Amino acid sequence: MIISDQELSQNVVPATATRRKSWRDSVGVLSLKTPAISALFIWSIIPLLMTIWFSFRRYNLMAPDRTGFDGLGNYRYLLTDPSLALAIWNTVLLVGSVLAITIGLGTLLAVLFDQEFFGRGIARLLVLAPFFIMPTVSALVWKNMLMNPDNGFLAFTMRSVGLKPINWFGVAPLTAVIIIVAWQWLPFAVLTLLTAVQSLDGERKEAARMDGAGPIAMFRYIIWPHLGRAIAATTMIESIFFLAIFAEIYVTTSGGPGFASTNLSFLIYRYALMEYDVGGASVAGLVAIVLANILALFLMRSFARNLDA
């Protein structure tokens, strides 16, 4: 079969065509864009500059008389504080675990909910329900009704099968927070991934079936690669929220015992509003920004390939 590549070359737009825009056009467009860009710039850059400014100052609300430039004093204090390392580790653990649980379980549920089965509509509704509950409310429900070691539902179940109930917030506080956040965010992952699974072309699945793909090969070679983009997007969106988790910790463990369930955003809160150290809190805030950027870079790197697929 001989077919020339003429059909292919017809699709290629000459690169020069796009360059022919005159400078007049660019100036006109720029002047229209300026208000939006400056508003965004002010919005994001001023808080950052203020944080950097405060991080170099002696600024404790409990000692209003001791102000002034402090050089790297705040930095020295915070970076040698063992709680910072712990908070960073907790943050990474929290973000990583919840991502793994929601994406992993979310993919599984998405593939399951794509199948026809009796009561699928109701099952879908139920799996989505946790997302509509406010974080504070769900944390309270988990704390008082599910994970309470005396009269919680989990304790009751464990006792009824003869096991010793776990004091979740005392023994495994971070795990408890991870479970609560994962429960809240699983619906989001299911929703985005189910949409992606359903957007898979039916004929493509049939072609794979004709090619001899069973359920496992179908998942591995057809569904999973197709989900790459959706998983990347879900991971990024979730990471942004998980880095800033606060309410769930505040309601359940208050970061304790000790610093066992304190993440960076809770550490900032502890500095700023429990110790009234604005300078220290600013440094912690900058650390959080750096961490977020490292995470973003890492995600971009690992998903960049998928995103242009």
**Which residues are near other proteins by CB under 8 A?**
1-3, 5, 7-8, 11, 201, 203-204, 206-213, 217, 221-222, 225-226, 228, 309
* Consecutive H or E run containing 57: strand 57-58
Output 70 or 114, the one with its CB closest to other proteins.
Answer: 114
3-state helix, strand and coil shares in percent for the chain, rounded to the nearest 5: 75, 0, 25
**Quick one: 150 or 203, whose CB is closer to other proteins?**
203
Per-residue DSSP letter, 68: E
CB of 1 to other proteins, least distance (A): 4
> Smaller CB distance to other proteins: residue 107 or 263?
107
Minimal distance in Å, beta carbon 6 to other proteins? 9
Alpha carbons 142 and 219: distance in angstroms, whole number? 34
**Cα 273 to the center of its chain, rounded Å:** 25
Closest approach of Cβ 204 to other proteins, in Å?
5
Min dist CB 86 to other proteins, Å, is 41
User: Which among 167, 169, 170, 142 has a CA at the least distance from the CA of 155?
Assistant: 167
Nearer to other proteins, 125 or 216 (CB): 216
Q: Which is nearer to other proteins, 89 or 224 (CB)?
A: 224
Q: How far is the CB of 189 from other proteins (least distance, A)?
A: 21
- From the number of C-beta atoms within 10 Å of its C-beta (0-12, 13-18, 19+), residue 14 rates as exposed
Supply the minimum distance, in Å, between the C-beta of residue 117 and other proteins.
17
Rounded to whole angstroms, the Cα distance separating 8 from 18 reads 20
Rounded distance between C-alpha atoms, residue 297 and residue 257, angstroms: 32
The amino acid that residue 193 corresponds to is L
Please say which residue, 1 or 36, places its beta carbon nearer to other proteins.
1
- Distance separating the N- and C-terminal Cα atoms of the chain: 29
